[in-house]
Amino acid sequence: MYGLSLDESDDEEEFSADSGWIPWFCGLKGHELFAEVEEEYVRDNFNLYGLRQRFQFYDHALEMILSSEAPDDDDLADSEFLEIYQDASDLYGLIHARYIVSPRGLQVMREKYLKGTLGTCPRVLCDRQHVLPIGLSEDLRAAQVKIFCPRCEQVYSVKSKYKELDGACFGTSFPQIFLQSYPSLVPLEPARPFVPRVFGFKLHKQKSLITWKLEQEQASPAQPQEGGGWFCHA
């Protein structure tokens, strides 16, 4: 279940009672990757097709999402409320995955991407390249959200504060659709490779262990591959 504390926003901002459930939910600590889905989008049944049968409290959850009031401490201490809240947070996540690949949703995520709100690549040689959230499955509870770096084109685990976010809330296609929609944001310079050295000398016939193992697996017994060792190049 996602975090519920009312004072868990990064800037400890106080949410007013009329701020609405969606701004409140997206303002919780660890929810910075979420975009605020427009109510008009949520109210359009076309955008919710196929979701009803996946939730026990669908109607109540949808009503909570569209509520103009944020939960208070009494709500968060009520067990019945929390049951509906779980469905509401999951339902919002699946709606969110659809919204961020819509024209308006892509614009919202573009603004977050340009500001660096979505984070930066943990790979040192990517020079703090901005990243995009991605899921490894479209199913809830299958995998946590990950981040995709457009420069090195690798997927990484997220910071600890995002580990409770479900990857299904972002879908498996978002980074690809985003970069196809905004080709100018695709990094022009490829990722700089790491150049291993031994006592200052470059390595001869450098080959990563992953590449070497894949070549070994693909090679036939009659055509063995050369060893993948690294040798100093004088």
Ordered by where they begin, the domains of the chain are: 1-99 (1.10.1820.10), 116-193 (2.20.25.20)
Please indicate whether residue 203 or residue 49 has the higher confidence score (pLDDT): 49
Is residue 207 scored above 80 in pLDDT? no
Using an 8 Å Cβ cutoff, are 1 and 86 in contact?
yes
Using an 8 Å Cβ cutoff, are 223 and 233 in contact?
no
Would you say the C-alpha torsion 198, 202, 203, 206 has a positive or negative sign?
positive
CB-based burial label for 226 (10 Å; 0-12, 13-18, 19+):
exposed
Please identify which residue in the block is written with the tokens 């984070």: 119
Is residue 204 scored above 80 in pLDDT? no
What are the CB-based long-range contacts (under 8 Å, 24+) for 224-230?
Answer: 229/205, 230/196, 230/198, 230/203, 230/204, 230/205, 230/206
| pTM summary value | 0.81
User: What confidence tens digit (pLDDT) does each residue in 92-114 have?
Assistant: 999 999 999 999 999 999 999 99
CB-based burial label for 168 (10 Å; 0-12, 13-18, 19+):
buried
Is residue 33 scored above 90 in pLDDT? yes
pLDDT of 2: 52
Mean pLDDT (the chain) is: 87
Is residue 87 scored above 80 in pLDDT? yes
